[in-house]
Structure 1
Amino acid sequence: MTGVVLNDVRKSYGDLQVIHGIDLSIDPGDFIVFVGPSGCGKSTLLRMIAGLERISDGTVSISGRVVNDVPAPDRGISMVFQSYALYPHMTVGDNMAFGLRIRRTPAERIRETVGQAAEALQLGQYIDRLPKALSGGQRQRVAIGRAIVREPEVFLFDEPLSNLDAALRNQTRMEIARLHREIGATMIYVTHDQIEALTLATKIAVLKDGELQQFDTPDRVYNQPANTFVAGFMGAPPMNLVAAEIIAGDGGAAVAVLERAGQPPVHVGLPASRKRLVGRRVVFGLRPEAICSGPVGSRPDHAEIDVDIDYVEVTGADRIAVTNFTSGPFYARLPADADVHEGRRARLNFDRDKINVFDADTGARIAEETP
């Protein structure tokens, strides 16, 4: 089992710096996903680990060995690309075996290794077919199989599912997750798809403009984002972020006053752990699914507000209700049969235990304090 360590890794093209001092420690057997908007540097970072991009500064270590000056073929990695990169004139079996033949692996060992990989990826019946006779998902599995047979120390995936349709993407994603469980290898995966990141990863690295914003488990990245960028990037619809002032309510309790353009502000009672924030301007954050509609009685863990619903979108299983605050749309993810309608007033209930609060100036998440 192999770990990967990035220490103050930087990448510049002339005077343009695109990766700004990334520090990561990836444990053996982890499934790490790099995610972020286009141009954030996630593929560049992956290519530096692979040895396909030269590192401008800092070090990359694989299994305790600094590999900055080690050629890509000698780093003990296998990379799966977005484009499959299969040889069109070779069969599935020959494509998977190609790297082993280059390394002069004995023929019997090649047959055994390719056969095992093909069965693991449910490609056994296609072993003699050419790539043109396969679906996109099957071609991607061939590319993954070609990586498996090399028995690398680390697997690298560069947006491997982006060329597939939704159904194939879901199926292949499950196969990659199963493969990771079965072989337990260290995997590093680049994607712009948040569902892939949240479902596949043991840890997610969120990048923006070449800087690491958060490196944590999917649960913490989603429910306790490090800053407003992560909060707004992860999730569809994203976390609601509203400028607010914290004032003292009855009995000294903290109350968030959410600003609304042209309408009275909304008051939301906060948990006791937020008392120390009284008097501060903050950014109030709440996931759309932490909101329900209708009365909930006197439950202390919920805060009720009445708002005008500007738009409703039914997605099948959900009903997305939208109202507007000064900062923009505010989403509530409700059951499909929720009694919420466009152009009408509705009562929404916020789960107070799931409220996040961020510093208004830095955007950093403010941790809760024990009451």
Structure 2
Amino acid sequence: MFKRLLALIKKEFLSIKNDKKSLIVVVIPPIFQVLIFSFAATLEVKNIDLIILNQDSSKTSQELVRNFEGSTRIKSLTFVKSYEEGKELINTQKAIAFIVIPNDFVKNLQQQNANIQLILDGRKSNTAQVVEGYINQIILNYFKKEEHFSKINIIPRTFYNPNLDNFWWIIPSLFGSITMVVAMLLTSLSIARERELGTFEQILVSPLNSFEILLGKLLPALFISILESTLILFFAIFIFGIPFNGSFGLLYLSVFVFLFSMSGVGLFISAISKTQQQAILGSFVVLLPSFMLSGFATPISNMPSWLQPFTDFIPLKYYLELIKGIFLKDISFSIAFTSLVPMFLLGVVSLAITILFFNNKRG
């Protein structure tokens, strides 16, 4: 089995190498994408999940809270009893912002300047900047009516991205999305290429079983995609200066599981496509929803409630959460596990369906 599989893997590498057009498509564009998209990506924020710690029981602070409740930009308000409780909700991405009203707020407001602390999740730097603007506007508009406008100091603090640098958000996101495109293109073209060359039937009648054939198509694509990931990782750390706080072992485990998941989908598309053109079109049928529903193009919280459950079937959604957590937060394996499992299961299911398709073809 090993010799047969090795021969098929060698053949697949040679096919990719000899197909100059496909090789250019999967190598050159990602470099330009990581450079261009870093400056081009923008987001709009509509639904804000907000945490409030109101340590001041005065009428003024309660009226301020009601102003947040009445805002069309605020989706949900969560009231906590301690700073640590609010911090944990930010850590687990249950909210984008955390407001702390201190217990001496009204007293300071009457005597001197009063402070309100605003804590933001810097893993979503663009969103955090927009949210900060909304919250500042709500607070200052309220106190302008109360004639305390000049006495309010809003003290922002950002977790994981202190300067709200957009590169710290967009580059880890591109790290996932670009490698997804590479993996999908390589695998979706692999079997379709055999059909166009007339060698698909020869593979079907070979001693290789369906699993060995798919494994031979899968491994070269995974290898090239991981190399591409390493190249983008180099750009992220050494060109754009993105801090890497996590574990390289956990990072590459996440990369492998994600690329396995997307390659399984790519192989299924390739298996049902008769030409490479059909395979490319089929890939974009999957890629576009992946971008739109993963949280890359727009926050999932902005989507209609009926649409949000569909995002659970998008591997890129889990991968983006993992990558930003590993880069900026140094998440533990136990936290990463909750995202690794869905990605792996999605890959197993798509690969199993492709094997069943192969068996029917051979049967």
TM-score bin (small chain): under 0.3
Q: Which is richer in strand?
A: 1
TM-score normalised to the size of structure 2? 0.24
RCO greater where, 1 or 2, for CA within 8 Å and sep 6 or more? Answer: 2
Higher helix share: 2
